[in-house]
């Protein structure tokens, strides 16, 4: 099947590459010529495990191509995916300008039946706006061409996006057009050979499903962080509590880890957008407002621990920071806890030496030359050497089992602030390390 994907970010590039990998003829459109230049030269503009190999394989096979030519892209695919950004507006609502521009372009150039698929995370009612935008362009041309608008939200985890696309647990399709539904069944057939995973519903329900899923996961994270803070005060251990509640099948094990807050391109933005959607509909989503407030406070929790240990000012102190990305296996630092923690440490007079396996170039781009006290190390132990304390922000695999004797001797003061509860407090005591976890007694 001929498919066009507008947008070559995480969602668009992963979707296009994976659809090409099962035999489809995919053309990816982006208005950013730098991104297309990178892709055409054999690279990718994002860090996502396994994606580069799939892109190169399918470009070589002639199933995947890239363009900045809007007319060519609209003329290529019967199925037109819109996978552009929906950044938060000043009021927290999703900014739909890029989605609606893509829709208008389709209406301006389409020459036959098209299924327009909203892959971007969009507020409820966006499908109607996309449908209207296409209709307005067709009317301006005096053209009468059939088309359908479908909501097909993505459920991809950064760092595991390829696996999630190739082996989905469900495929949500919001549509009312039988021809469009049949095409979506055909397109996704290779990804559901062992069982039917495609859930067909109305467009608005599909749009809400995406927001509801992310809001639910964010709620679990903030709830566990709130419990961790309480456990710490009461002298309980949140890890033991996690095991006690996670073993209940009604609760399960996922997203029950306490830490220093969630970040990334999805949870913060989508929680804000859903709160805003509720306000516009006359509903105050009190739980989600609390989720957002708790998360912002949690990002500063580890700094509070450092203040309690070292005092209000950190002049003359240097901290090693392990982890910059908002989660492992990505270089994405959008809304990352590391940004809050690093800036607060620097603001209080400290020097910070940071290490991350893949996100240091992104950190340099974000921080620039604004903070002379911020430096970077090529290896984790280089960051720790001579530091007054180690602060762990991202749970990369390579941080799971370091040589703790080497860590202890490298640090000027053997103190670890563990924002992801990677280590056992009893083990740290045996190694002579002063350990501060999240919710650990």
Torsional class of 89: left (φ above 0), alpha (ψ -120 to 50), beta (otherwise): beta
Q: How far apart are CA 372 and CA 267, in angstroms?
A: 31
Residues paired with 352 in a beta bridge:
319, 374
- Write out the chain's pLDDT in tens, 441 residues: 999 999 999 999 999 999 999 999 999 999 999 999 999 999 999 999 999 999 999 999 999 999 999 999 999 999 999 999 988 887 778 899 999 999 999 999 999 999 999 999 999 999 999 999 999 999 999 999 999 999 999 999 999 999 999 999 999 999 999 999 999 999 999 999 889 999 999 999 999 999 999 999 999 999 999 999 999 999 999 999 999 999 999 999 999 999 999 999 899 999 999 999 999 999 999 999 999 999 999 999 999 999 999 999 999 999 999 999 999 999 999 999 999 999 999 999 999 999 999 999 999 999 999 999 999 999 999 999 999 999 999 999 999 999 999 999 999 999 999 999 999 999 999 999 999 999 997
Dump pLDDT digits (tens) for 78-135. Answer: 999 999 998 888 777 889 999 999 999 999 999 999 999 999 999 999 999 999 999 9
Residue 398 DSSP symbol: G
Q: How far apart are CA 114 and CA 75, in angstroms?
A: 10
Catalytic sites, residue numbers: 266
Q: What are phi and psi of 396, to 5 degrees?
A: -65, 145
Dump pLDDT digits (tens) for 369-403. Answer: 999 999 999 999 999 999 999 999 999 999 999 99
What pLDDT, on a 0 to 100 scale, did the predictor assign at position 89?
A: 80
Question: Are 79 and 112 within 8 A, CB to CB?
Answer: no
Q: How far apart are CA 101 and CA 32, in angstroms?
A: 14
Q: Listing from the earlier edge strand, what are the strands of the sheet with 374-376?
A: 374-376, 351-355, 318-322, 389-392, 415-418, 434-436
What pLDDT, on a 0 to 100 scale, did the predictor assign at position 265?
A: 87
Write out the two tokens for 220.
């679990």
Write out the two tokens for 410.
């490298």
Dump pLDDT digits (tens) for 332-372. Answer: 999 999 999 999 999 999 999 999 999 999 999 999 999 99
The strand ranges marked E within 70-164 are 79-82, 114-118, 147-151
Question: Are 326 and 263 within 8 A, CB to CB?
Answer: yes
What percent of the chain is helix, strand and coil (3-state, nearest 5)?
A: 45, 15, 40
Q: Name the residue among 317, 314, 318, 336 with its Cα closest to residue 326.
A: 336
pTM reported for the whole predicted model: 0.92
What pLDDT, on a 0 to 100 scale, did the predictor assign at position 90?
A: 76
What pLDDT, on a 0 to 100 scale, did the predictor assign at position 430?
A: 97
């Amino acid at each position: 099947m001929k498919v066009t994907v507008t947008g070559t970010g995480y969602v668009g590039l992963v979707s296009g590459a994976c659809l090409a990998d099962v035999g489809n003829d995919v053309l990816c459109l982006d208005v950013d010529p730098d991104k297309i230049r990178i892709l055409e030269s054999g690279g990718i503009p994002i860090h996502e495990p396994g994606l580069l190999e799939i892109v190169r394989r399918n470009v070589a096979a002639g199933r995947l191509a890239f363009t900045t030519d809007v007319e060519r892209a609209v003329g290529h695919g019967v199925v037109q995916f819109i996978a552009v950004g929906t950044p938060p507006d000043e009021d927290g609502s999703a900014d739909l300008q890029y989605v609606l521009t893509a829709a208008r372009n389709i209406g301006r150039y389409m020459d036959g039946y098209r299924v327009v698929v909203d892959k971007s995370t969009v507020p409820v009612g966006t499908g109607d706006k996309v449908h209207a935008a296409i209709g307005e362009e067709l009317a301006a041309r005096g053209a009468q061409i059939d088309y359908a608008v479908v909501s097909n939200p993505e459920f991809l985890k950064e760092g595991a996006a390829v696996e999630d696309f190739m082996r989905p647990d469900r495929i949500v399709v919001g549509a009312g057009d039988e021809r469009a539904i049949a095409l979506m069944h055909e397109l996704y057939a290779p990804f559901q050979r062992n069982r039917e995973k495609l859930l067909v519903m109305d467009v608005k329900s599909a749009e809400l499903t995406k927001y509801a899923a992310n809001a639910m996961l964010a709620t679990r994270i903030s709830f566990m962080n709130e419990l961790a803070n309480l456990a710490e005060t009461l002298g309980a251990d949140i890890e033991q509590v996690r095991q006690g509640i996670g073993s209940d099948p009604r609760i399960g094990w996922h997203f029950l880890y306490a830490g220093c807050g969630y970040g990334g391109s999805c949870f913060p933005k989508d929680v804000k957008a859903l709160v805003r959607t509720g306000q516009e509909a006359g509903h105050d989503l009190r739980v989600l407002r609390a989720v957002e407030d708790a998360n912002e406070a949690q990002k500063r929790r580890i700094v509070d621990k450092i203040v309690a240990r070292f005092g209000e000012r950190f002049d003359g102190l240097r901290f090693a920071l392990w982890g910059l990305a908002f989660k492992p296996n990505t270089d994405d630092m959008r809304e990352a806890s590391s940004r809050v923690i690093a800036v607060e440490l620097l603001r209080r007079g400290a020097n910070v030496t940071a290490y991350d396996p893949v996100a240091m170039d992104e950190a340099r781009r974000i921080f620039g030359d604004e903070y002379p006290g911020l430096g970077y190390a090529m290896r984790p132990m280089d960051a720790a050497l001579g530091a007054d304390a180690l602060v762990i922000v991202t749970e990369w695999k390579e941080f799971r089992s370091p040589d703790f004797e080497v860590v202890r001797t490298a640090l000027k003061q053997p103190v670890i602030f563990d924002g992801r509860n990677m280590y056992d407090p009893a083990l740290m005591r045996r190694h002579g390390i002063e350990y501060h976890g999240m919710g650990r007694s």
